[in-house]
A and B are shown apart, each in its own frame.
Chain A
């Protein structure tokens, strides 16, 4: 009898694993369990094009039922895994049905972190198609908008709301946006970007409480100031979706612990991929969990290879981190591990809306890269990071591209 691989989760990690299995001529059944009733869709545009009204949810389809049929992928929509019985090799889904597997792939991703005053009417997170739909409807009703958290999601929502002409206040307890990842000095450029586009920024303070009087929302910040809003959007990070794995035997530690091929610890024949997976990254010398689209897509190929038996002796998954964000007229790309140490140098010009920041270890080793409106620099930087290249080499490569170093 042909083996069955069951994949739990219909975002990019799960879908790409299914597709990669077929691409590797896997002969067994492939069953894809998707919690939502909607065909698998791509998430990055939810906080950008979908909110702006430039893309519909239909534009985001990752795997249509027709394509699933063509590839021989059994797509089961509206099927939420609620427990794993690893001893019986079965997934239990809502309603009680048990689905048997020979191999299981955990691709349940992550869910939006919520503050204690959430849920409340008018308060949104942006993680799913349903979230984005609901937020777009509220944005269409008008402002003012309060955005809590100036990471990628919050910054993108703030930018989109400003593009729609809505008044926006952006609050973050950090001294500058993304300063934990990029340093305060670089984060200040992003604070300026928001202010230039008319956002009221409140950095270094948090929301202490949120009240609703039935007509609107009123936030009290930790410095005592009051911000009134019609709609509040919360972007304060995500947490891996692992509640359904409690007592399954799968080892959990802020995600599902697995090896460089995606094979989980604690149970047999179970793999993990994407936002939910935590594995030993050989170049970083520690366990990492990465919530980036590109990582999920790349890790899916590694896991599929292991599932068809090609993982023996294969190198472990060791990606150069890569993530992008679109805010106003800035195309922002980050690779590797920039770090908040302040060890960096800048090429190009912030005033010209085109620059690169090369982060390094204090000597010459390149550790990370931020670029704005400069994809060529990102490509060169990702290559350098994969080869443990130096910032001197990258700098001369980029300067050769005709952009002078900032003085």
Chain B
């Protein structure tokens, strides 16, 4: 599994992530990113990473989920 994180202190509401992967990202009424699914499968990795890379302010990351990690 992969873990998706968004840094809301960086997000500027550009919305590129939503256009690329609207099943994982959304923006709220204030234009702030919302992560719809915090974990994605390994099969989805390339697509979700591409969406994360489309962020002009690098506010998004996709990383390996360590086994047994607490998802909060």
Contact = CB atoms under 8 A, between A and B. Distances in A.
Interface of A: 16, 19, 23, 42, 44, 293-294, 297-298, 301, 322, 324, 326, 331, 333, 373-376, 378-379, 382-383, 386, 401
Contacts of A23: 46, 49
Main secondary structure of the interface of B (DSSP, over half): loop
* Among all A-B residue pairs, the 8 with the closest Cβ atoms: A375-B13, A375-B31, A379-B15, A379-B18, A375-B27, A375-B15, A382-B19, A376-B27
Contacts of B36: none
Main secondary structure of the interface of A (DSSP, over half): helix
Interface string B7-47: 00000111110110010000111010000000000000010
B27 A42 contact: no
A379 B27 contact: yes
B8 to A, nearest CB: 13
Nearest to B27: A375
Contacts of B5: none
B59 to A, nearest CB: 13
B54 A294 contact: yes
A294 to B, nearest CB: 6
23 contacts: A16-B53, A19-B53, A42-B56, A293-B56, A294-B54, A297-B16, A297-B54, A301-B50, A322-B16, A333-B15, A374-B31, A375-B13, A375-B27, A375-B31, A376-B27, A376-B28, A376-B29, A376-B31, A379-B15, A379-B18, A383-B22, A386-B19, A401-B29
A401 B30 CA distance: 12
| Best-buried of A326, A378, A379 by chain B (most CB within 10 Å) | A379
Contacts of B54: 294, 297-298
Contacts of A324: 12, 14, 56
Contacts of B28: 376
Contacts of B13: 331, 375
A23 B14 CA distance: 23
Contact of B56 (A44, A331, A383, A386): A44
Nearest to A44: B56
B56 A382 contact: no
A386 B18 CA distance: 13
A60 to B, nearest CB: 10
B31 A331 contact: yes
B56 A378 contact: no
